[in-house]
Chains A and B, each alone.
Chain A
Amino acid sequence: MSPTTFGWLILLCPLVGIVVIGLGHRRLVGRSAGWIATLAIGLSFAFSVAALVALLGRSPEHRQVTSTLWNYAASVGLDAKLSILVDPLSIFMALVVSGVSTLIHLYSVAYLWEDRGFVRYFAYMNYFVFSMLLLVMAGNFLLLIIGWAFVGAASYMLISFWYRRTTATRAGLKAFVINVVGDVGLVLGTFFIFKHTGTVDFLRTFHAVPHVFAHNSTDLVAGCLLLLVGAFAKSAQVPLHTWLPDAMEGPTPVSALIHAATMVTAGVYLIARMHPLFEQAPTAADVGAIGGGLTLIIAATIAIVQTDLKRVIAYSTMSQIGYMIMGVSAGAYSAGLFHLMTHAFFKALLFMAAGSLIGAMAGVQSLDRMGGFRKAMPFTFACFVVGGLALSGLPPFSGWLSKDDIIGFLDHRGHGFVILGIAGYAGALLTGVYTFRMIFRAFFGEPVAEARELEHGHLAHAEVPRNPLTGEEEDTDVGFPGPGHFIAEREWPMKVAMGTLAVLALVGGALQIPGIDDAVTKFLDPTFADSRLARSQLPTSPAWVGLIIGAVIALVGIAIAYALWVRSPATPVTLRERLRPVHTFLSNKWYFDELIDLVVVRPALLIGRFAESVLDRIVVGGTITGGTVGAVRAGSAAVRRWQTGFLRYYAAAIVVGTFGVSLYFLISST
């Protein structure tokens, strides 16, 4: 079967899942909704593998295939079709998305049991996976935008999944609004490009770009910058990043899937896909790289002082995506995408493990209240360690190979990119610090009460369910998390999912060992065949030097964390007191929220209030509507005075009228 058939099947499976779960939500008993959803995504993954095999069966020049189902509107110069593009990049993304999604669905079957919204959750999750697959398999800008918007909607629905929690709904709204800003950028960017190329189809656009746009032409730079706005909003880069930490209000598997492995990588995919455009407009690409670099550093510094477990991992995600964006903007396409894949593995693993830990803490997420879980939760601890080592970039874990691949490429490109490379190394140091700070604080030290209970085999339960952020009381009915708390040691779906990801985080790097096998680069080659930058791959020995430097820096970071949080736990406290202003600045997340509030939200509110009080009430309501009403009322009052009810006046009017008409005819006939 041809790759495109598999492509359509990949999209069909989650769609069928949505329909079945959505329509049958009253009749699905027990966990069947969860199994159906997992099966749907699993099938999708199987079809992705089949598409991979089919694609590999073709020669490399023929590995970019499109397939069109029907035309939406093929008129007046717009060729809007329902078409998918099956090529190495999209199959790569589809494999990552569907594979990690299957494992997360499996995890959720156990994690969200006893939640009243169990069935709703799986419908939403399938919808999300469908949208993400649509995004990556899209063959033209139209479907890309549709997938983009759908993914934003799915993110909103899943962040505010526990909808009776005010913090969750606010976070969902914040995420959605910032995403919409990105959507606007995406659509406008598409228009700027379409204006010159005249087509929305990807392959045709890419072929037309060198002929239609001059190098660094203004329109192209503007279009690419707008596309970057979209990418930054979706991938939570500075300055459109403020939604990602708040998005941790959603259930932990949601954070794992959407805000670690898949949705936030959509921006990376976008830049990689649009690489012909970005290479023709290097200014925009440089902006992207600088943005990624800035985010990398900023997010890493904030992560060091975070006390909420999930938010540490969220800022870590932001930082790692900064690496990826930096990479693909600078031309390290296969490196950036390889890091996307490995990051999906270990970040999802970390989130799953965090979910298990939060379950043991009966819903509490604060690191201040955790400690000494090493003996009570060995499996979770092992997963945390594996994920943490991969994240920090220690050999032989996959994160080491992918992260340093990017930094090596940046150093190789030279000029200003070396600065970004150094920033990357600094970020790697901070990564080691904050990751192991998290692990040491949660698993080492004196066991807290919940840990001691768990060592005796008793899972802690909170008498009164509380909001982990604000501490206000809740209940466990619909709209709030269910009463059950689940840990990996006791639930086999969670164990299987986490175990698989741990193995992948460990050995996944084998796909791209420099000099030995560059499987990812070779596989993605047909997509990036027209790229000038990708050609300049790093020679093997400088690559290994970079890798060794990276490993050393990671070790240094872990050692610092060990010294500060295991050896002498009093030191961080004194450091915090000494550097109080720095600490405040960092814990307030560099005051980005306040800045956006000042620059964007307040003026918008002012305009809104002005519109309501002046424009709406006075101009529209008073003058336009009121004026029309007044005029009509006056007119009809004037007419009404003729309806007196007196018969003889009516008769007189008729007589006078007759007189007048006959007079007219009399005169006109002479």
Chain B
Amino acid sequence: MAIGWYLVVSALIFCIGAGGVLTRRNPLVVLLCLELMLNGANLALVAFARMHGGEDGQIFALIVMVVAACEVTVGLGLIVAIYRRQLPIDVDQLHELNG
């Protein structure tokens, strides 16, 4: 398949993830949608690596996976901490960092 197909799929996955981030209220699901976006980017990177013939894109994708893992760790830690304080698990109601 031409590389362009992979890129279109990557774009679709990215935008579906973006829509999810904007729409969902449960922070867990927001993080999941964030994962979707990262995966979309990964796909694009690997596609371009194949296009150019060098593995640099794949290295990049692996690093992105590392970063995603870290971010998930910290994010889930936050959510656990929020849950422990008996606050609602809802991004619309966690808005004290304002002004």
Contacts and interface: CB of A to CB of B under 8 A. Distances in A.
Q: Are chains A and B touching directly in their complex (CB below 8 angstroms)?
A: yes
Interface in B74-98: 91-92, 94-98
A647 B98 contact: no
B2 interface: no
A211 interface: no
Instruction: Please classify the interface of chain B as helix (H, G, I), strand (E, B), loop, or mixed, using the class held by over half of its residues.
Output: loop
A648 B27 CA distance: 10
Interface stretch (A147-155, A368-376, A610-618, A638-646): A638-646
A647 B30 contact: yes
Contacts of A652: 22
A242 B91 CA distance: 81
Interface string B3-35: 000000000000000100111010100100000
A74 interface: no
A643 B91 contact: no
A647 B99 contact: no
A652 B30 CA distance: 13
A128 B91 CA distance: 78
A643 B98 contact: yes
Instruction: Please classify the interface of chain A as helix (H, G, I), strand (E, B), loop, or mixed, using the class held by over half of its residues.
Output: helix
A643 B98 CA distance: 5
A10 B80 CA distance: 85
Contacts of B22: 648, 651-652, 655
Interface residues of A, number: 10
A192 B74 CA distance: 77
B18 A655 contact: yes
A645 B21 contact: no
B18 A645 contact: no
B92 A648 contact: yes
A657 to B, nearest CB: 12
Contacts of B30: 647
A644 B91 contact: no
Contacts of A644: 95, 98
Contacts of B21: 648, 651, 655
Contacts of B23: 648
A144 to B, nearest CB: 63
A30 B18 CA distance: 90
Given A643-B99, A655-B21, 6 more contacts: A644-B98, A645-B94, A646-B95, A648-B21, A648-B22, A651-B22
Interface of A: 640, 643-648, 651-652, 655
13 contacts: A644-B95, A644-B98, A645-B94, A645-B95, A645-B99, A646-B91, A646-B92, A647-B27, A647-B95, A648-B22, A651-B18, A655-B18, A655-B22
